[in-house]
Structures are given as structure tokens and as C-alpha cells.
């Protein structure tokens, strides 16, 4: 009788241990319950590689490069501007208009640091290509100066939109 009781207890212990292991595995495989998956599995953390554009070493063409973007840390529009902008131009603010088809970038005083047609072309093209690449619904980008759409530069359109098709995108 003692052997039978011992055998039943041993069998129950083995089953309990197996059940605990399986239950533990099920709990740990639920997204968000495993401490290893808290940051990667969370729907709030969205880090991704995005393609941006910069000017080549001769400042004649744009070339793509990849950059990590974390949507928890920053909004996409200012992130692209600060990462791509090779001048001292400050982005004062921006607005998305026409159901996110138009982007208006409000630039500060340092817009005068953009030198000549080539400089303006690279400034506009690197930003435009980067925005069009990462905002597929976007159709045009307009640069304004301190809230005004008055043209202030000969070599850059202020107040007039640059269209996606201008960049073959």
C-alpha cells in the first residue's frame, strides 16, 4: 500500500511539474508577458529604418541613406528635417494640409544661409525626396518664411509648392 501511495504521489508530482512548465511557457509566449519582449513586442515602440536623401560629395546629386527612426522619440517631419538639413536653417513649425497630401514647412531667418542655385537645389531636393519617400500620401511640399509665402529668394521657391512629380517620385 505504501508503494502504491508513493507511486501515485510521484506520478502526481511529475504531472504537476509538466503542467506548470507548459503553463509557464504559455504565459511567457503571450506577447507583452515575457520580459524579453516588453520593448520589442510592445505596439507603442516603433523603431524602423527609413530611407533619407543627402547630397553627394560634389553637392550635385542626391544619394539615399538609411537612418533609424523611433516614433516614440520624435515626430517624422521634424526628424527628417533635422537629419537631412545640411544648413543652419531652422524649422519653426509645419502643417499637414489637404488630408495629408500637402506639407508646409515654415522656415526661420537662417534661410539666407543657403547659397546660390546649387545650394538651394540640394536643400530642397534632399528634403523633398526624403519626405516623398517616407510619406507616400504626400503630393506637394511648400516652403514658407516666418509664416509668409512672399518670395524672398531668387534661387528657391517660397510659397509655391514643389510637387512629387518634380522629383520623379
Distance of alpha carbon 157 from alpha carbon 143, whole angstroms: 7
pLDDT (tens digit, 9 = 90+) per residue, 16-51? 555 544 444 444 444 444 444 444 444 555 789 999
The pLDDT of residue 69 is 95
Distance of alpha carbon 79 from alpha carbon 117, whole angstroms: 25
Q: Is 90 helix (H, G, I), strand (E, B) or coil?
A: coil
β 162-163/102-107 pair status: unpaired
Q: What is the pTM of this model?
A: 0.71
pLDDT (tens digit, 9 = 90+) per residue, 80-135? 999 999 888 999 999 999 999 999 999 998 888 888 888 899 999 999 999 999 99
Amino acid at each position: 500500500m505504501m508503494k502504491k501511495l508513493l507511486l501515485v504521489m510521484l506520478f502526481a508530482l511529475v504531472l504537476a511539474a509538466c503542467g506548470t512548465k507548459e503553463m509557464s511557457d504559455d504565459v511567457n509566449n503571450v506577447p507583452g508577458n515575457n520580459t524579453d519582449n516588453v520593448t520589442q513586442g510592445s505596439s507603442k515602440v516603433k523603431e524602423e529604418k527609413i530611407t533619407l536623401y543627402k547630397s553627394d560629395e560634389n553637392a550635385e546629386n542626391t544619394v539615399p541613406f538609411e537612418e533609424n527612426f523611433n516614433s516614440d522619440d520624435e515626430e517624422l517631419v521634424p526628424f527628417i528635417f533635422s537629419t537631412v538639413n545640411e544648413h543652419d536653417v531652422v524649422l519653426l513649425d509645419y502643417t499637414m494640409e489637404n488630408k495629408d497630401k500637402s506639407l508646409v514647412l515654415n522656415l526661420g531667418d537662417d534661410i539666407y544661409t543657403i547659397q546660390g542655385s546649387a545650394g538651394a537645389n540640394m536643400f530642397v531636393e534632399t528634403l523633398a525626396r526624403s519626405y516623398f519617400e517616407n510619406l507616400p500620401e504626400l503630393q506637394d511640399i511648400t516652403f514658407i518664411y516666418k509664416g509668409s509665402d512672399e518670395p524672398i529668394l531668387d534661387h528657391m521657391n517660397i510659397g509655391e509648392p514643389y510637387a512629387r512629380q518634380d522629383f520623379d517620385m
